[in-house]
Structure 1
Amino acid sequence: MMNKPLYKLADEYLAIAKAMVDQELPDEVIADTLEGASGEIEEKAWNVAAMILQFEGETDMVRAAEKRMTARRKSLENRVEWMRQYLLSNLLVTGISEVSSPEFVVKVCDCPPRAVLDDEDAIPNTFKVEETIISVRKDEVRKAMLDGEIIPGAHLERGQRLSIK
């Protein structure tokens, strides 16, 4: 019987409970029968909870690996940028504008002009854009509603979560 999924066991449990209530059996008989039926559900729930804990552990390991990989990627990107600047500055100092090999060609190229803003306040308003950011402070809305205040356009919702300790 242990190969039944948890949702089927739960459905069977509810069907047994409904049938027993419909038959108007004594409370003691109903409790004994449901206790026996709940054993399989509890065992299946323990197995599912164990898998959840295992996956949470793996998630932590993956998250740690991601941090290490991100740090490694950033280190490599920084090294590449440093080496580019190193090569460029040495080519500029020596006046060499091109180095060729069978695999690649290295050239010192001029970049397109870019705007550098020395003093943003001195820039004419025609070049400025006004940005307004409006956001709702959800935590303050929640606190006010918990204190009994009615906030139009908002309501409190209580969800449920699973705790495995």
Structure 2
Amino acid sequence: MKLFEINEAIKKIADRDDIDQQTLIDTLDSLKLTRDAKLDGLAGLIERDTADIDFLANKIKQLTEQKKQRQNQKENLLRYMTEVIDNAGIKELHTEHYILKPRSFRQKTVISDESKLPEVYRVKKEVVSIDKQKLYNDMKDGNEVPGAHLEPNRKTIIS
């Protein structure tokens, strides 16, 4: 029996007059126990999912840090390899598995002190964002706002 069906059965049985008091109490208790057991199971699933979400968020953070470390290591090793080959005056080096050819690419733009840059290099960007607090307050006061609406936000606290 589904949870909503259990709730409906409890309402129907509670409204009946043709059942003796003890049978009514026993039936309601039985239905409530079933409902409570199912809700307890749902709470357990939610708790497990919450723990999994926390674990995955932490894992993503760790993997992002590892990725950054690997990228930095790769860049440092490439720079070191290029310096060694350049220092030797070699234009192309053949190893057992690779052909190494240092090349010049477009120069990097490095900004060492942004405050010293002339105004001509500054770009102003206009960012438009929604004032959700004002929007909420206006709609809560009964004002209709095209393109927005309020909807219920009910949740159960599991403790």
TM-score (norm. length: structure 1): 0.69
Match of 1:152 in 2: 145
Q: Given the alignment, which residue of 89, 94, 97 partners 1:103?
A: 97
Match of 2:114 in 1: none
How much has 1:119 moved relative to structure 2?
A: 5.1
For CA contacts below 8 A with separation 6 or more, give which structure has more relative contact order. Answer: 1
1:158–1:75: structure 2 CA closer, same or farther, 3 Å change rule? same
Q: Given the alignment, which residue of 54, 78, 85 partners 1:84?
A: 78
Paired letter, 2:120: D
How much has 1:120 moved relative to structure 2?
A: 6.3
Match of 1:121 in 2: 120
Contact 2:13–2:24 (CA<8 Å) still a contact in 1?
no
Paired letter, 1:150: N
Paired letter, 1:158: P
1-side partners of 2:99 and 2:68: how far apart?
A: 26
2-side partners of 1:156 and 1:52: how far apart?
A: 26
- Unaligned regions of 5+ residues in structure 1, if any? none
Paired letter, 1:14: E
How much has 1:59 moved relative to structure 2?
A: 2.2
2-side partners of 1:66 and 1:17: how far apart?
A: 47
| SS of residue paired to 1:157 | coil
Contact 2:91–2:102 (CA<8 Å) still a contact in 1?
yes
CA offsets per residue over residues 95-135 of structure 1, 9 Å max, x none? 22211112111101232578899756169xxxx8x865432
How much has 1:151 moved relative to structure 2?
A: 5.2
| SS of residue paired to 2:154 | coil
1-side partners of 2:35 and 2:76: how far apart?
A: 60
Contact 2:6–2:35 (CA<8 Å) still a contact in 1?
no
How much has 1:64 moved relative to structure 2?
A: 1.6
1:31–1:84: structure 2 CA closer, same or farther, 3 Å change rule? farther
| SS of residue paired to 1:42 | helix
Q: Given the alignment, which residue of 57, 65, 73 partners 1:63?
A: 57
1:152–1:44: structure 2 CA closer, same or farther, 3 Å change rule? closer
Contact 1:145–1:156 (CA<8 Å) still a contact in 2?
yes
TM-score (norm. length: structure 2): 0.71
2-side partners of 1:81 and 1:114: how far apart?
A: 14
